[in-house]
């Protein structure tokens, strides 16, 4: 049941933004309540300077805006009641009478309805009704509730199409409420069948483990999506390790967690890094084609999740010198990179390397270089391998783990389930970032895998850039793990969507030969 709560609260969050009074009124309200910026900022979880920004005309957005609106609303009602009851000893608070009229429209923008009872408060942020649990826009004697019985329905009846007549100032959540219990259970059973392609999957697979964790967390926090998400993200690392164990049940190879590690893979200082070069792309095209262009910044979905499929060395890395590359082994290699002559149109596959000379690269980068030097592409000379630390490799070690996470992710996107989405994201990204020498995950000590997976993500991005280039798009920028800027009709090259094989648009901007002007959300 609880994942429907998650959906409901998500739906609640979508809607018009909370109304905020103008900046000087916000400051006045706070000062009249004798609250310092630091106090308010702490309560809202922002920095005091952010708060002063808001009081000087900037506007918060999203969830924090709702919180801020709630706070201002509360202050306003408090101060308003204080002035009416105390009959204002005029000398003490001269500000009050002058500012009250400016502030009142905030809390009650629509007094058209008949609230004759004097302790009826209007809520900017609807709270669950104490009687039926659906969001109510009014509070009576401290309890949020609906004013008319028509609005207030117990959950067993048919879901009302519109719970409240939405007042003009009501910011959020006038969406039709959840379907009642009976449809829920039927839908839940439909879903538990899982994806149809896994016809012979055992009932309690790894995907169920993820779902149970999410449901458990939601139940524990009473359907509070934010709290549940935070709790799940916090336990993402141990859960990912548990999931890994689960997916390796009956598998051919052991996950060897603490092998001997060569010195090149050890951190040299506490905060330093080791000697491996991960070939992170950081490239912007020097000269654009003439004229003005519409550039689209594409975002590769779940880059690290896809990169879990790479050739991972199984056992201890063994040293070897100047041998030809063995496709059945994987590890790190000391190479002299080939010259790269296509810098004008495509990034260097080994990334922005400033220092010349040999460097330690990982298997995915080496395979990329070998592929590019092969007969099909012939983009560069083959790299020269000097030394290697390799071990027998398999691409399938994390495959079940990856599929489980991908399935959970796909289902979560389909159902709009942000909790699972965040949880899955935290699981794979934290799994990758802590599998090396991290104190947050001591159960797995494989810096080699960490480097290999990251390099695989970079190599995947590079290959996407090559694909775009081959299809006639102009690649403008390849950045980090998942950012690709192209000019041209990219939709015929990449599918748009949220799946791991698809790309999504980050923003678009126009740029010309001399001036660049951003029209999107910014970088």
Partner 1 sequence: MPQKNIDFGRFGAQGIKGSDAVARKLNELAGGIATPVTAKRGWMARLHYLTKSPQTLKAAQDAGLTVTHRTLKAWLEGKRRPSKTNLERIDQAYRTVRRHNVARHLLKRLNRDGRGTRVEIHPLNQSQVPQPLQRVVEYRTMNVRRWDRIVGSWAAGDHQSLDAAWQDTIVDLGSQWGQYEYVTNVGFAA
Residues in touch with partner 1 (CB under 8 A) = 254, 256-260, 270, 315-316, 318-319, 439, 442-443, 445
Least distance CB 244 / partner 1 (angstroms): 13
Least distance CB 269 / partner 1 (angstroms): 8
Least distance CB 260 / partner 1 (angstroms): 4
182 or 321: CB nearest partner 1: 321
DSSP summary character for residue 265: G
Summary count for the chain: helices (H), strands (E):
15, 15
DSSP summary character for residue 286: S
Least distance CB 305 / partner 1 (angstroms): 24
Least distance CB 238 / partner 1 (angstroms): 11
Least distance CB 233 / partner 1 (angstroms): 21
Least distance CB 241 / partner 1 (angstroms): 9
272 or 291: CB nearest partner 1: 272
367 or 430: CB nearest partner 1: 430
Distance CA 207, CA 413 (A): 14
270 or 344: CB nearest partner 1: 270
163 or 240: CB nearest partner 1: 240
269 or 517: CB nearest partner 1: 269
200 or 260: CB nearest partner 1: 260
Distance CA 493, CA 345 (A): 17
C-beta contacts of 76-82 below 8 A and 24+ residues apart: 76/29, 76/103, 76/104, 76/106, 76/107, 77/107, 77/121, 78/33, 79/29, 79/32, 79/33, 79/103, 80/104, 80/107
Question: Exposure of 281 by Cβ count < 10 A (0-12 exposed, 13-18 middle, 19+ buried)?
Answer: buried
Strand partners, 341: none
Asked whether 124 and 18 are in contact (CB, 8 A), the reply is yes
437 or 471: CB nearest partner 1: 437
- Per-residue tokens: 219: 């139940």
* Residue 389: closest CA among 219, 238, 264, 213: 264
Place of tokens 């058209």: 112
* Residue 73: closest CA among 40, 107, 99, 34: 107
Three-point CA angle 162, 163, 168, nearest 5°: 80
* Residue 448: closest CA among 464, 465, 426, 432: 432
Least distance CB 460 / partner 1 (angstroms): 30
Asked whether 137 and 152 are in contact (CB, 8 A), the reply is no
């Amino acid at each position: 049941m609880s994942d429907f709560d998650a959906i409901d609260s998500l739906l609640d969050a979508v809607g018009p933004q909370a109304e905020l009074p103008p900046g000087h009124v916000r400051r006045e309200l706070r000062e009249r309540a004798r609250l310092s910026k630091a106090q308010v900022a702490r309560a809202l979880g922002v920095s005091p300077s952010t708060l002063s920004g808001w009081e000087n005309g900037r506007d918060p957005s999203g969830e924090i805006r709702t919180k801020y609106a709630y706070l201002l609303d509360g202050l306003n009602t408090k101060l308003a009641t204080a002035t009416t009851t105390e009959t204002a000893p005029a000398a003490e608070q001269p500000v009050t009478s002058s500012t009250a009229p400016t502030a009142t429209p905030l809390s009650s923008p629509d007094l058209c309805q008949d609230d004759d009872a004097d302790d009826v408060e209007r809520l900017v942020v609807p709270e669950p009704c104490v009687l039926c649990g659906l969001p109510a826009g009014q509070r009576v004697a401290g309890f949020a509730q609906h004013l008319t019985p028509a609005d207030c329905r117990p959950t067993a009846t048919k879901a009302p199409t519109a719970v409240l007549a939405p007042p003009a100032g009501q910011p959020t959540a006038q969406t039709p409420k959840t379907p009642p219990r009976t449809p829920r259970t039927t839908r839940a059973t439909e879903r538990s069948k899982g994806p149809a392609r896994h016809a012979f999957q055992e009932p309690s697979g790894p995907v169920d483990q993820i779902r149970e964790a999410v449901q458990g967390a939601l139940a524990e926090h009473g359907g509070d999506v934010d709290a549940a998400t935070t709790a799940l993200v916090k336990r993402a690392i141990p859960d990912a390790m548990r999931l890994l164990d689960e997916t390796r049940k009956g598998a051919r190879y052991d996950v060897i967690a603490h092998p001997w590690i060569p010195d090149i893979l050890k951190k040299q200082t506490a905060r330093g890094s080791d000697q491996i070069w991960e070939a992170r792309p950081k490239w912007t095209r020097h000269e654009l084609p003439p004229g003005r262009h519409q550039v689209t910044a594409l975002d590769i979905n779940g880059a690290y999740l896809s990169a879990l499929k790479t050739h991972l060395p199984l056992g201890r890395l063994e040293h070897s010198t100047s041998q030809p590359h063995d496709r059945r082994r994987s590890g790190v290699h000391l190479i002299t990179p080939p010259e790269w002559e296509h810098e004008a149109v495509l990034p260097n596959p080994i990334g922005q390397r400033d220092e010349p000379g040999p460097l330690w690269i990982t298997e995915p980068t080496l395979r990329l270089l070998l592929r590019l030097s092969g007969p099909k592409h012939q983009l560069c000379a083959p790299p020269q391998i000097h030394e290697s630390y390799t071990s027998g490799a398999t691409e399938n070690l994390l495959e079940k783990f990856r599929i489980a996470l991908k399935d959970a992710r796909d289902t979560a996107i389909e159902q709009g389930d942000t909790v699972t989405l965040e949880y899955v994201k935290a699981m794979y990204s934290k799994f990758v970032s802590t599998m090396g020498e991290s104190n947050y995950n001591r159960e797995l000590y494989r810096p080699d895998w960490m480097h290999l997976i990251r390099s695989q993500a970079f190599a995947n991005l590079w290959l996407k850039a090559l694909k775009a280039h081959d299809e006639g798009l102009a690649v403008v920028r390849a950045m980090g793990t998942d950012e690709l800027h192209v000019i041209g009709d990219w939709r015929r090259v990449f599918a748009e969507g949220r799946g791991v094989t698809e790309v999504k648009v980050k923003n678009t901007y126009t740029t010309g030969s001399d001036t660049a002007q951003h029209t999107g959300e910014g970088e």
